[in-house]
Structure 1
Amino acid sequence: MKKGFALGTAGVMVLIATAAWGQGVKFNIAGYQVEGNTLLPEAEVQQILSGYTGAGRGLEDVKAAAEALRKAYEQAGYPVVSIFPPEQAASGGNILLKVVEGKVKTVTIKGNQAYDEANIRASLPGIREGLAPNAPEIVSEIAMANENPAKQVAVNFQAGQAPGAIDTTINVVEDRPEKFIATFDNGGSKSTGVHRFSLGYQNANLFNRDHMVTAQVGSSTDFPSKSLNISAGYRIPFYGHGLSLDLIAAYSDTNSGSTIIPGGSMNFTGKGTIFGARLNQPLAAIGEYRHKLIYGFDYKDFDNRASTCVPGAPAVSCSGTITTQPVSVSYVAQHNTPGLQVGGSAMFAMNIPGGPNGNPGDYATSTTGWRANWNVWRFNAFVGIPLAADWQFRANAAAQLSDYKLVSGEQFGAGGASSVRGYTERAIAGDQGYSGNLELYTPELAALASLPSGYGMRGVFFYDAGQIYNRGPGAQPQRHISSVGAGLRFNVQRDLSARLDFGVAQDRLVSQTAGVGRERGDTYGQFAVNYSF
């Protein structure tokens, strides 16, 4: 549901009493006395009004002063304010301006069942009886509250009957806070099992404070003993401070994995263990432009076990593990309008050498060329455009830049159901790279297929491409893959979703790994089913 902030008043009113003043009368204005202001610093108010003082002033100057003060309130985020001079003698030198600040009189919450009134109010601390609502702060609070996957809120302000009174309505749309999530796909490898199954649990309202916990266990249905992925995430929103914290833990003994976390999904590669933390800081909205900063720290212990161990060799060769400890900062932005949805992110990550198997000596091997002080830039972008007759166009892009030869778990991968379809997951990987998808979605087909209400179905045509670049010896400098194809998207309300894609490889890919190689023209089908209950 779209995040909203509506005002029931038409901006700010400027009311000027003219009964005692003629339009052509000139008089001296020594200064202004302002009554009723509690939101702007007095020094700022007087500085604004000082430009409308002096001899030979008139009613138009008083109007201009009130308008300038109105704009100051609006720029400070308070659009519901009335400013007017009461009837008074203009010969006294000081002009009285009265300010009626709009403040919340009543708060009505509608549509909530699983989330009680205390919860809804806690997630919107800027909306309370007696407070003047600050528009940018309320917009940020709504955006943060709507990050909870089980509730969406929209706020509407209406002018009350008394002067300056604001009647507020908070509309809530809910999903189940507590649910299990089962997934089944064919995104695995031939060696550990192509078909994968996972079972997850999510509770989006622990302690009635919107704390969210997720946990997931996955394995292969082909070779259960060869594949195991376990992950957990915990999100804590700090509504009063406009921040949220994500804590992440994951373990994998397969070559690749993906897990659901409170902030979305996290992909990782290589056998090993990961612990992470993300501090999310939303920034002030600019119209429909929403953006935030994310500060991150990860501890990743990758298992890169070699087949042989040479005595005295560095840790990566003998113990089979290498540790990375990257700190990162990300900028994430999104702009949504009825005719265009666009967004993206940019992240810079820098490794902190140290920890077990993470010192410079552990990285310095003649066979890998890894360095402990690596850094990397990662980018993502998307655009969605609704077309005529309910067709839709979507495009996605991802890229990675680095001047270093990276451990496999930090490399950029291309190939798979969410990257280049028609190829296996991470069919190619390198220190740098990019991938992109162009998709054209058909109009809704559910009615055409005589499906019941609540069902959705669309077809999709796509073109995917990916390119990777490697640094140093021992690897191909660059590799490219691309595909064209078609697929189907299906859903039953929010409980069941499925996707099926058939990609036709456009580039030959030679690989020593079973099932990864492709000849031009090879077709490969990929599916995924998600069911929540």
Structure 2
Amino acid sequence: MKSISQYSFIVGTTRRRPLTPLGMRWLVAVTLVITLLGGGRSVGAEQSVTSEKPVEHRFYVGEYRVTGNTLLTPIQIELALTPHLGEHKTVKDVEAARLALEQRYRDAGYPTALVNIPEQEVLNGVVYLSVLEGKINSLRINGSRYFSLERIRGELPALAEGAIPYMPAVQEQIGALNQKTADRAITPVLRPGRTPGTLEVELRVKDELPLHGAVELNNHHGANTSDLRLSGQLLWSGTYLARFSGSDTLAVVYGVHSASETASIGTLSVIGKGDIVGVRSILPLEPSADYFHSFALGFDVKDFSESINLLGADSLNTPISYINWTAQYSATLRGNNASTRLSLGPNVGLRGIGNDDAEFENKRFKAKPNYFYLRGNIEHNHAAVKNSLLTVKLSGQLSDSPLISNEQFSAGGAQSVRGYLESQRLGDNVIQSTLEWSTPSFAAKLSPQIKDLRLLVFADAAQLQVKAPLPQQESDFELYGAGIGLRLTGWKTLALDIDYAHPLKALDASNDNGDKLHFRAEYTF
């Protein structure tokens, strides 16, 4: 007996038996709805074949000839149909072969493919099966108010017109699209097309206004400044903004106004009173299953009326306006019970392009408008015993020349070395580290409104170097701090961070060397 091929099979003995026609089989009114948030499952519909009850004629089946197949290999077809060859077969056996082949398509990820038994007579043991693989002839998107239809289409190539839906790819792409924002959920619905063998796809979009904000109150203050800081954020995250046609590249424009000599807005720290307007072009790079990365390129226009007096190595408290050019590579690696995030990139000033020699010279001794420094950080989180969390952070900066204080690396404070005031020391070359252990969450034992509640212990350290210090000025500094803290999130919109830290290395007598309580409360909407 020869092996089964896509179009021809074994030649049997010459026999002739009538086979009751079963007709063309196709979906008539079945809707296939796939709900896929973070990788869901597809929901298919099986349509039973209706036919007249066949007379129990028996016949020889020595060969199945399959037409219309482009998806399965000959081996896959052979494995499905070989058990249904032989003597004394009935119409039920042919139907079983049809179902077996159709199931093979489903197992391969193609649930829209249908196998039919055309009207025929069995001649010489040959039975014909035809396949309708279900190509998409139209794709419609309904319900999207705030997100680009073109962008949604572009991120779902598995559902493009002319494609045959491969469900693992559809699930992956829908899941990835839904994970990009909490303001949008997309559900695909597949229906039979007007032409037999085709499908119509409808993407049902349920979205909300992608406008969000946050109000934050903290005591992240520097020396000789008021204790409390109030900041606000407003974010529009719709995809109608600054996307490049045919590309994944995204342009972002942002602005910051700082009325404090040291300001913290989320993870952004600003040194000096003034304004910043920034532009970033962000290019997502090809991800893998556990590795996600991107490249960003842009610039910041900075206008500071004054800077922190007597910090860093600025000689005078003078205003300055300049442009900082930056590039950054960012990546996230996810593993079993662990994740690692890193970023690394250069920052450059260019003489004559928004940067004035005189302003830099007045600002700091030997400061240049054409400066360069490299800044990076890496953070590793590992789930430890009983859902506790171990965090290790390392960050730093390396410069080629003395920098003005606005571009120096700041150490000290709630997001740096706890136990010290914000930006307690500034440096041109800096290395900073954190080791932190958080307890398992107590949230489940307290209230369903509390999402997460953990206690923690930590130790922070930083070493700083100032290039070309002024006479009588120190060039090297060390900061060490340790303490305990609390992290709380709950009531859907509230986050609270509290740290109590002790400085392990005292600074000079003019500084506050006592224990510090750092807190931050944030309300989001």
Q: TM-score range by the shorter chain?
A: 0.5 to 0.7
Q: Tell me by how many angstroms 1:498 deviates.
A: 0.6
Deviation at 1:192, TM superposition (A): 2.9
CA displacement, residues 65-110 of structure 1 (integer Å, 9 cap, x when unaligned): xxxxxxxxxxxxx99999xxxxxxxxxxxxxxx999885579899x
> Which of the residues 236, 241, 247 maps onto 2:247?
241
| Structure-2 separation of matches of 1:178 and 1:432 | 39
Q: Deviations over 1:210-260 (max 9, x none)?
A: 54xxxxxxxxxxxxxxxxxxxxxxxx3447421111112223242122336
User: CA–CA distance in 1 between the matches of 2:394 and 2:376?
Assistant: 8
1:509 matched residue in structure 2: 507
Give 1:412-491 correspondences, 5 Å limit.
412-448=409-445, 450-474=446-470, 475-491=473-489
Q: Percent identity?
A: 22
Any conservation in 1 of the 2:435–2:458 contact (CA below 8 Å)?
yes
Corresponding position of 2:221: 188
The residue that corresponds to 2:330 in the other structure is: 332
| SS, match of residue 386 in structure 2 | helix
Conservation of the 8 A alpha-carbon contact between 1:487 and 1:500: yes
Question: Judging changes above 3 Å, is the alpha-carbon distance between structure 1 residues 291 and 3 closer, same or farther for their aligned structure 2 residues?
Answer: farther
Residue in 2 aligned with 1:360? 357
Gaps spanning 5+ residues in structure 2: where?
1-35, 44-70, 83-108, 114-129
List per-residue Cα deviations over 1:261-291 (Å, max 9, x = no partner).
xxxx532211222221100000111222111
Counterparts of 1:241 and 1:146, CA distance in 2: 19
1:177 maps onto 2:210 in alignment: yes
2:437 & 2:138 partners in 1: Cα distance? 46
- Amino acid aligned to 1:191: N
Alpha carbon RMSD of aligned pairs, Å? Answer: 4.4
Q: Which residue of 1 aligns with 2:161?
A: 130
Task: Report the secondary structure of 1:325's partner residue.
Answer: strand
SS of alignment partner, residue 447 of structure 1? helix
Q: What is the CA-CA distance between 1:156 and the residue it aligns to?
A: 8.8
State how 1:15-164 maps to structure 2 within 5 Å: 15-16=74-75, 116=145, 122-127=151-156, 128-132=159-163, 146-148=179-181, 150-151=182-183
**2:268 partner letter:** M
Q: Which of 73, 97, 100 matches 1:14?
A: 73
Give me the whole-angstrom Cα distance separating, in 2, the residues matched to 1:116 and 1:325.
37
Letter in 1 for 2:250: S
Say whether the 8 Å CA contact 1:298–1:327 is kept in structure 2. yes
**Partner letter of residue 392 of structure 1?**
L
Which residue, 297, 300, 314 being the options, matches 1:298? Answer: 300
Residues 1:279 and 2:271 are matched in the alignment = no
Match in the other structure for 1:266: 268
Residue 495 (structure 1) aligns with: 493
Task: Describe the shift of the 1:528–1:18 C-alpha distance in structure 2 as closer, same or farther (beyond 3 A).
Answer: closer
Q: Are 2:383 and 1:386 equivalent residues in the alignment?
A: yes
Q: Secondary structure at the match of 2:444?
A: coil
- Assess, with a 3 A threshold, how the Cα gap between structure 1 residues 137 and 156 changes in structure 2: closer, same or farther: closer
Corresponding residue for residue 252 of structure 1: 258
Question: Which one has more relative contact order, counting CA pairs under 8 Å at least 6 apart?
Answer: 2
The whole-number CA distance in structure 1 between the counterparts of 2:147 and 2:220 is 43
What letter is aligned with 1:289? Y
Give the alignment partner of residue 406 of structure 2, picking from 397, 409, 418.
Answer: 409
Deviations 1:398-446 (A, max 9, x none): 1111121001000011111111111111111100112222221111112
Secondary structure of the corresponding residue to residue 154 of structure 2: coil
CA contact (8 A) 1:181 1:201 kept: yes
Deviation at 1:523, TM superposition (A): 1.9
Aligned residues between the structures: 407
Distance of 2:303 and 2:227 partners within structure 1: 25
Give the TM-score taking structure 1 as reference length.
0.64
What is the identity, as a one-letter code, of the residue corresponding to 2:155?
G
Change (3 A) 1:99 1:199: same
Alignment correspondent of 1:346: 344
Secondary structure at the aligned position of 1:183 is classed as strand
CA contact (8 A) 2:372 2:401 kept: yes
For 2:24, the equivalent position in structure 1 comes to none
Q: Which residue of 2 aligns with 1:197?
A: 230
**Unmatched runs of 5 consecutive residues or more in structure 1:** 23-77, 83-97, 212-235, 308-315
Asked if 1 retains the 8 angstrom alpha-carbon contact of 2:135 and 2:197, the reply is no
One-letter code aligned to 1:382: E
Q: Secondary structure at the match of 1:389?
A: helix
C-alpha separation between the residues in 1 aligned to 2:363 and 2:282? 39
Say which one has the larger Rg. 2
